[in-house]
């Protein structure tokens, strides 16, 4: 049984509800601003390596 969702699956869900790249960026930026530890935990849950998480979080600043 698979324990987590891949980034690609998550993006596909966002696209399925009509989010474009700008909306997804806004979602990530708000997540980082409002709950940085939660954002970190979410990215870890997605199974991303530490280097990729740092890139994503730094891009949101």
Classify burial at 39, counting beta carbons within 10 Å of its beta carbon; exposed 0-12, middle 13-18, buried 19 or more: buried
Pull the structure tokens for residue 40: 């970190």
What's the distance, CA 21 to chain centroid?
Answer: 12
Q: Which residues span the domain enclosing 17? A: 7-60
Residue 1 lies in a domain: no
Residue 41 lies in a domain: yes
What integer pLDDT is reported at residue 41 of this predicted model? 95
Residue 2 lies in a domain: no
Three-state DSSP at 48 gives coil
Q: How far apart are CA 28 and CA 9, in angstroms?
A: 16
What integer pLDDT is reported at residue 61 of this predicted model? 55
In the chain, the number of structural domains is 1
Q: How far apart are CA 30 and CA 34, in angstroms?
A: 6
Per residue of the chain (61 residues), what is the pLDDT tens digit? 456 888 899 999 999 999 999 999 999 999 999 999 999 999 999 989 999 999 998 886 5
Residue 23 lies in a domain: yes
């Amino acid at each position: 049984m698979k324990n987590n969702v891949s980034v690609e699956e998550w993006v596909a869900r966002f696209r399925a509800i009509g989010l474009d790249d700008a909306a997804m960026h806004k979602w990530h930026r708000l997540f980082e601003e409002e709950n940085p530890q939660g954002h970190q935990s979410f990215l870890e849950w997605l199974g991303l390596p530490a280097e990729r998480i740092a890139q994503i979080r730094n891009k949101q600043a």
